[in-house]
Structure 1
Amino acid sequence: MKGFLQLLGEKDYPEEKKKEFIDIAVQELNRAEEVINDFLTFARPAFEKEEQIEVDKELNQVLNVLNPLANFNGVKITKKYSSGLVILGDRSKFKQGFINLIKNGLEAMPNGGELIVQTFRTGTVIHILVRDTGLGMTEEQIARLGEPYYTTKGQQGTGLGMMVTFSIITAMRGKVEIKSQVGIGTTFHIRFSNLLDEK
């Protein structure tokens, strides 16, 4: 990236190439920021504070952040929320975890598709389902998901994002179940039992 930025200072360099280098530099800076944020998550205590998390409100904020990527990939986002679901945990870490998870789903649909985010409650458990119609994963890939530095994205991935997501969900006393079929898509089923009304 340093070399690209140095070339931008060359007067005779074509403007078209300069724009291309700027785009590459921005992409790499965004990637570096993601890696730094993921490392910092492990450097800090699991939760800095425990607060009320309005599930649908926070998921909407996550989807607002990721809408540009969804639009770029031609992905339709469908929301199926049950209202009034509140859990306890660190709000910023909750958002970080679901940004990583949903971003993975969007990146698995480079040629378009649908992403469904659903929430509901059964008894004392709050459920969050994230379904995509993307590339899908093999059983081996599912088993390794969340391992340090394991990624299904080749050189584009670090393997840290899902590791962070699983760590956050576990710290919030949650559980993750994954179902996937190659060429069909993937469903992440997250269950939280740390409801506000149990506190």
Structure 2
Amino acid sequence: MLIIKDILLQLLFIIVPVLLYKNVWLDQKKSKQLGIKSWPVILLSSLSVIFCMSFPIYTDSGMRFDLRSIPLIITILYGGYIPGIFTSVVMIGYRIYLGGDGIPVALIAFSVYSILPFFLVKRWYGLSFRKKLALTMLMGFIKESVAVMTTAILLFTKNLSLEAIYDRLVPIVNISYLYILTIGATVYLVEFIRESYMIRIQIERSEKLNLISELAASVAHEVRNPLTVVRGFVQLLREETNPKNYEYIKLVLTELDRAEWIISDYLNLAKPQGDVMSRVELTHIVSETTALMSSYAVMNGVEIVTRAEPGLHVISNPVKLKQALMNLMKNGIEAMTEGGSLHVTVEQANSSVVIVIRDEGEGISPEQIRQIGLPFYSTKEKGTGLGLMVTCRIIEAMQGTILFESELGKGTQVIIQLPAVH
């Protein structure tokens, strides 16, 4: 019964930090990317490691084990290099402080099982759930295999009988099964929490979009009709009015056109996106969009530089895709108030096609990036935010993803990823 109590304590020390993952680990300001805050990760992981080592599992033969490496591996994979290094230092330092004969085994095992997690840090979030689960269980198997073999070698050097060595290795093997199952269950729990959190964010965003769509459908048509009448009468007045008032009439027509443009964005938002899908060549779509935007770019002193691989196809609504690309190119051109180059790249990346639109403007802050795609948010003085909102919906309707990266003073980069069709 004592060994069951020790095992339950070890599981408690591992699971509690994971259950705090959503509320403590995740940076709420980076909810779209599910960023990780370093200091809570370091604190929780270090405490978890220390408690696991302070209250180990004791076997009937007097040997002791712990699952300290599980929170360490999880920290490296999900927290990154800095939390992983700090937690490793805490673990090694505390193990040396505890002393005993098992320090060489602990150091050898650490040097083996920590290599793969550090190697996978950059690509970890891009892996599928099955690959993550398989890799973590493989790490657990490697770690326990090294521990068993190292312990066996040390026992042989003590000139113990084979029976005595066998009796001591059996508990280690049994703990190894528990270790592999526990590390797999921990990764499963973390991924479940992450997926639930992402679904909640998407639901909240969908509710906002549906609210705006209903508002657009009910108001846009009613507002557009009187605007059309007003515009018509203003044009008639222009022919009969004093030439001194031409500038005023021109200003009125300009503002009416702007109101018409805003209403058109509302109507685009209310319409279902991607209703007619077909197989299209992406290079051709990008070339047509670039040609349409070239005159606007010249007016703003911007050069559009295009590099596209031929023969890349996606399932898309070509009209809607052009609209999305035009919105992004227009934003990039307007961001370069002093001119520059707008770089548009199309290339294959595994099973996806990636479109990158990069400008050389002033860039935007991380806080502004987090607000992109939300209703009525815009960095432009007269912007409504509906253009990017519509663009995000178009890309999502095509089963794609859109990511904004920016650095103040160095410009902004938009990365669109769409499923490739061979």
TM-score relative to the length of structure 2: 0.42
Identity %: 35
Instruction: Give the equivalent residue in structure 2 for 1:159.
Output: 385
Amino acid at match of 1:162: L
The yes-or-no answer on 1:168 pairing with 2:394 is yes
* Cα distance in 2 for residues equivalent to 1:141 and 1:100: 18
Give the CA deviation at 1:188. 0.4
Contact 2:406–2:412, Cα closer than 8 Å, also in 1: yes
Match of residue 421 from structure 2: 196
Question: Which letter maps to 1:196?
Answer: V
Matches within 5 A, 1:1-199: 5=234, 8-9=238-239, 11-14=241-244, 18=246, 21-22=249-250, 24-25=251-252, 27-154=254-381, 156-193=382-419, 195-197=420-422
In structure 2, what is the Cα distance between the partners aligned to 1:97 and 1:121?
A: 20
Read off the aligned partner of 1:106 and give its amino acid letter: I
Aligned Cα root-mean-square deviation (Å): 2.3
Relative to 1, partners in 2 of residues 1:19 and 1:56: Cα closer, same or farther, differing over 3 Å?
farther
1:149, distance to aligned residue in structure 2 (A)? 0.6
AA matched with 1:37: S
Q: CA deviation at 1:37?
A: 2.8
Task: Please report how far the alpha carbon of residue 111 of structure 1 lies from its aligned counterpart in structure 2 after TM superposition.
Answer: 1.8
Question: Per-residue displacement from partner, 1:130-187 (whole Å, max 9, x unpaired)?
Answer: 0000121000000001100100002x21110000001111111111121111121000
Paired amino acid for 2:400: G
SS at match of 2:243: coil
Q: Any idea what the Cα deviations from partners look like across 1:105-143, whole Å, max 9, x if unmatched? A: 111112211100000002211000000001210000000
Contact 2:234/2:253 (<8 A) preserved: no
CA offsets, 1:2-54, max 9 Å, x none? 6994773564333xx625753x4554354334323322223222222110121
Bigger Rg, structure 1 or 2: 2
Q: CA deviation at 1:69?
A: 1.6
Higher RCO, Cα 8 Å, sep 6+: 1
Pair 28,65 (structure 1): closer, same or farther in 2 beyond 3 Å: farther
Q: 1:135 to 1:5 in 2, by over 3 A?
A: farther
Contact kept? 2:361, 2:410, Cα under 8 Å: yes
Gaps of 5+ in 1: none
In the alignment of these two chains, the number of paired residues is: 192
